[in-house]
Structure 1
Amino acid sequence: MAAAPPSAMSAALLTFPSSHPYPSLLAPPKPPTPRPPHLHLVPRVAASPAAAAAAASPHRAASATDRLRGLVRHGCLEDALRLVDSLAGHDPPSRAAAGPCAALIKKLCASGRTADARRVLGACAPDVMAYNAMVAGYCGAGQLDAARRLVADMPVEPDAYTYNTLIRGLCGRGRTSNALAVLDDMLRRGCVPDVVTYTILLEATCKRSGYKQAMKLLDEMRAKGCAPDLVTYNVVVNGICQEGRVDDALEFLRNLPSYGCEPNTVSYNIVLKGLFTAERWEDAEELMAEMAQKGCPPNVVTFNMLISFLCRRGLVEPAMEVLEQIPKYGCTPNSLSYNPLLHAFCKQKKMDKAMAFVDLMMSRGCYPDIVSYNTLLTALCRNGEVDVAIDLLHQLKDKGCSPVLISYNTVIDGLTKAGKTKEALELLNEMIGKGLQPDIITYSTIASGLCREDRIEEAITTFCKVQDMGIRPSAVLYNAILLGLCKRRETHNAIDLFAYMISNGCMPNESTYTILIEGLAYEGLVKEARELLGALCSRGVVSKKFIKKGAIKMLDGPIQT
């Protein structure tokens, strides 16, 4: 049946964009290669007496190197920098030894001081070790283009380690095509890629282009005389499993001996994980038996996957039996062994058993981690035991496990749902006082709590604060305020906020439309609510399940779609 023309109100609600344009991904033009900085252009700080004495001695080069090595070892970075500057200031300038300079560059980069590290590189004797430290520093800081320029302009020949560091950095940032270009440059300059080079590229190729493309790179690797090792093959097996092709992974695993590599426990664990993910218990059981026959005993990772799988299926008792078996295989259970069982007890609302399980865990020398405690906090809040959750939260530091953002967010959510928004706000202030920055989830939770208590103005103040902080409000935050406005019968204000939501690029979800349709009906505007629902259905914005959901049913008569 054709849809009735929408009213002005429902038409206003339908002015949302059909798609989101993506920004152009054109790469910026390559900046000109910078000239190496000259130390005489860098303002100098007066050297400490110790550094000056080391530089002025008759055996200046040797003693300065020892002094520099000692300063770096003890973390005296400022004195080390002054000493490097003082050596460059002599006539003729002295070059600092590459070894201590490489160590200094590494420490400066670890402190985020890549510019100072670059100064040191310009002052030390040209050496691949120092350049490798600088390349690693740039990659660690995400300054990948600077790293590429540095490698291109090195006065000494880069080695495989240089290229591997750069390739790993590029692949880690998803720039696989750039990494492959670096491989071409490596070959052009006569530096032979090693098995590490290809393994890094294979892993990135699996993620970006799929394992079939990775297999082509594997063939190229062999053709160039570089024999893959077991780590390389394990990367490929993992890539096949990540695509859900577990049977292909099994076949590849069983063919490894024909490639000159016997699979190890890690190889089997990768395929077992794929089988567990696919819920193929019988095949997993068969593979574990094969593992034992091939002399690959299970390790703690194997047992942890098995425990997790059993707990997901609700088989807690068998999972407990597996936990008890772990030490018999010479393995020590860790928090990843216990956490799935803890989660299972919490899911079953057996909080006494969960608490006793934590005590058992600690009695065996395995201390709960933040995941363990967050699991308990979530379960306590869901069970309405918010006060117990607050006590546990405040005890975490004494238990050697400082609470993180999600810990506070969990308890704040529990407080707001228990109608204790005042206590939630106090906990928010406590969290900020401890140096934890709230996120959009924190503020959305607070806004929801305020709206439940009809404190809409305060919720809107929270909304404005989020925007002032440069955080984009989420659909959850908009929905919280929309619901509060509709409950007040202020649907006209809700529609204005909805329009603002769209104009700011936040796409509504089914909850948004539920709130608006029910809000219109709640104010007696059933005709407008029905028109909006009909238009949403005809556009395919909402599903049939949505039509049958909750209070939508109160719109009598068939929906016009």
Structure 2
Amino acid sequence: MPRKLLPKQVSTFIQTQTNIRLSIEAFLSSPAPHPIPTYRSLLQNLASHGELNQVDTVLSHMRQRHTDPSSHEPAYVSAMRGYSRGARLQDAVDVFERMPLYDCEPSVVSYNVIMNALVDHGYFDQAHKVYMRMVDKGIVADTCTYTVRIKAFCRTGRPHTALRLLRNMAEKGCAVSAVTYCTVVCGFYEMGFISDARQAFVEMLNWGLFPDLVDFNKVLHVICKKGDVFESLRLLAVVMKIGLQMNLFSYNLLILGLCKGNRLNEAVNLLENMHKGMTPDVTTYNTVINGLCKELRVNEAAKYLPKMFNSGCFPDSFTYNIIIDGYCKKGMVQDAFELLKDAVFRGFVPDNVTYGSLINGLCEEGDFKRAVEFLNKSQANGFTPDIFMYNALIKGLCRQGLVLQALEILHAMPDSGCTPDIRTYNIVINGLTQEMHISCS
């Protein structure tokens, strides 16, 4: 790319470029001030690539070369959003607080962005203080302001207050959306106010506001994670009457709800009989497999592995780990090792969860020699055991009265890069105490 381009060409390039390095090079190559949308696009690009350390450089460039500070707000807004999404809330707050120092007074847009960032990170009192400061300055709240405050009320367990504010919005002529209503409905379901949630949902529909699938799935997620299958199916019937069709995410939520609601057979049936054209993904399978393994129906869970391969949906580390752990908990350690062998052949890389399950399984079978050998072999292959694996092994040895072997492992732990914790010592102390009781008797 030529080093010198016209400002308009640079702006177009930055706004359409996905390579962050090239965007920065093009940005710095132009001595002329860029249009504000260019700064905003570059800041968004930096945030999406996690390059937040470059944000101050871009803002400084804008302040030095762009002579109208009052027009800088869109760039500051992008910077605040980027910092917030990158978990750098204090940097977002600093941008907001310094705006007046650079002769750019925040409008309601900036106030909304920083309040939303504070709410998203759980700083509800601080968000309210920012709102009061906005009111004191005579800045009129808009729909977004109300929506952020409603979200804060719902997240602090006050959905009834949120609903009153929502109705107050409508009375003041602010545009009320299905998004805001769904936020309140979610708040009611979270707190267990089922009847109020239903009434709010009906009220939304009576206003002629219909949620899209994304908003409805948010409500469905809240219900399903509580395992309230009856309510999720009731609400689904309501929205299907208004023409809303389920997608794969909806199916996954329902299957999750069925599993949490101890209706595993129905979850299995739903997986096996999804609508034509709807193909289960790894999340669908993992949810059912996890439910089956928790009930020690591991053989049923393992049968889904070939089905996944046949449908082009490949198992991930969670799939293998949950089945291996299920085998171990059911006392089928040899089956777990056979599955591990096949999984490794297919490219699976065992992790702490895998090794921990297998060591626990061997200990439960009383095969401590093999457990120690397996631990040593994993270390020889470059694997570093964690404290949970050591504690499981030491606990198993102590249970069988093999306290001396447990002490040997305890003393060897620091050399393996793992420091014993209070639980480790308590396990060994309990084991020594039991040995003393046996000897004394």
Compute the TM-score of the two structures, normalised by the length of structure 1. 0.64
One-letter identity of the residue aligned with 2:57: R
- Go from structure 1 to structure 2 and tell me whether the alpha carbon gap of 1:352 and 1:103 turns closer, same or farther (over 3 Å shift): same
Q: Give the structure with higher Rg (CA).
A: 1
- Go from structure 1 to structure 2 and tell me whether the alpha carbon gap of 1:209 and 1:377 turns closer, same or farther (over 3 Å shift): closer
Is the 1:170–1:176 Cα contact (8 Å) retained in structure 2? Answer: yes
Is the 2:14–2:23 Cα contact (8 Å) retained in structure 1? Answer: no
Is the 2:96–2:114 Cα contact (8 Å) retained in structure 1? Answer: no
Q: Residue in 2 aligned with 1:483?
A: 395
1:98 aligns with 2:6: no
1:108 aligns with 2:19: yes
Query: 1:234 & 1:506 partners in 2: Cα distance?
Result: 49
- Go from structure 1 to structure 2 and tell me whether the alpha carbon gap of 1:183 and 1:430 turns closer, same or farther (over 3 Å shift): farther
Q: For 2:157, what is the secondary structure of its paired residue?
A: coil
Q: Residue in 2 aligned with 1:32?
A: none
State the Cα deviation string for residues 184-213 of structure 1 (Å, max 9, x = none).
333333345454433221122224463232
Query: 1:207 & 1:178 partners in 2: Cα distance?
Result: 15
Q: Residue in 2 aligned with 1:121?
A: 27
1:146 aligns with 2:61: no
- Structure-to-structure mapping, 1:318-333, within 5 angstroms: 319-333=232-246
Task: Give the CA deviation at 1:486.
Answer: 1.7
Q: Residue in 2 aligned with 1:395?
A: 307
Q: Residue in 1 aligned with 2:355?
A: 443
Is the 2:324–2:354 Cα contact (8 Å) retained in structure 1? Answer: yes
Name the Cα RMSD after superposition.
Answer: 3.9
Q: How many residues align?
A: 428
- Go from structure 1 to structure 2 and tell me whether the alpha carbon gap of 1:344 and 1:187 turns closer, same or farther (over 3 Å shift): closer
Q: Residue in 2 aligned with 1:156?
A: 65
Query: 2:316 & 2:19 partners in 1: Cα distance?
Result: 28
1:372 aligns with 2:284: yes
Query: 1:527 & 1:164 partners in 2: Cα distance?
Result: 73
Is the 2:324–2:340 Cα contact (8 Å) retained in structure 1? Answer: yes
Is the 2:10–2:26 Cα contact (8 Å) retained in structure 1? Answer: no
Query: 1:513 & 1:527 partners in 2: Cα distance?
Result: 21
Task: Give the CA deviation at 1:239.
Answer: 1.8
Q: For 1:361, what is the secondary structure of its paired residue?
A: coil
Query: 1:370 & 1:513 partners in 2: Cα distance?
Result: 40
Structure 1 unaligned runs (5+)? 1-83, 529-555, 557-561
- Structure-to-structure mapping, 1:214-293, within 5 angstroms: 214-222=127-135, 227-257=140-170, 260-293=173-206
Structure 2 unaligned runs (5+)? none
Query: 1:256 & 1:224 partners in 2: Cα distance?
Result: 20
- Go from structure 1 to structure 2 and tell me whether the alpha carbon gap of 1:201 and 1:278 turns closer, same or farther (over 3 Å shift): same
Q: Residue in 2 aligned with 1:460?
A: 375
Q: Residue in 2 aligned with 1:184?
A: 97
Query: 1:162 & 1:310 partners in 2: Cα distance?
Result: 38
- Go from structure 1 to structure 2 and tell me whether the alpha carbon gap of 1:136 and 1:262 turns closer, same or farther (over 3 Å shift): closer
- Structure-to-structure mapping, 1:18-97, within 5 angstroms: 84=1, 87-88=2-3, 97=9
One-letter identity of the residue aligned with 1:217: V
Q: For 2:303, what is the secondary structure of its paired residue?
A: helix
Task: Give the CA deviation at 1:107.
Answer: 1.8
Q: 1:354 aligns with which of 267, 271, 275?
A: 267
1:136 aligns with 2:44: yes
Q: Going by fraction, where is helix more abundant, 1 or 2?
A: 2
Compute the TM-score of the two structures, normalised by the length of structure 2. 0.80
Task: Give the CA deviation at 1:294.
Answer: 3.6
Task: Give the CA deviation at 1:491.
Answer: 1.6
Is the 1:246–1:271 Cα contact (8 Å) retained in structure 2? Answer: yes
Is the 2:227–2:260 Cα contact (8 Å) retained in structure 1? Answer: no
One-letter identity of the residue aligned with 2:154: C
* Higher RCO structure, 1 or 2 (CA under 8 Å, sep 6+): 1
Is the 2:289–2:323 Cα contact (8 Å) retained in structure 1? Answer: yes
Is the 2:399–2:431 Cα contact (8 Å) retained in structure 1? Answer: yes
Task: Give the CA deviation at 1:148.
Answer: 1.0
Q: Residue in 1 aligned with 2:318?
A: 406
1:198 aligns with 2:106: no
Query: 1:313 & 1:272 partners in 2: Cα distance?
Result: 15
- Go from structure 1 to structure 2 and tell me whether the alpha carbon gap of 1:188 and 1:348 turns closer, same or farther (over 3 Å shift): closer
- Go from structure 1 to structure 2 and tell me whether the alpha carbon gap of 1:472 and 1:182 turns closer, same or farther (over 3 Å shift): farther
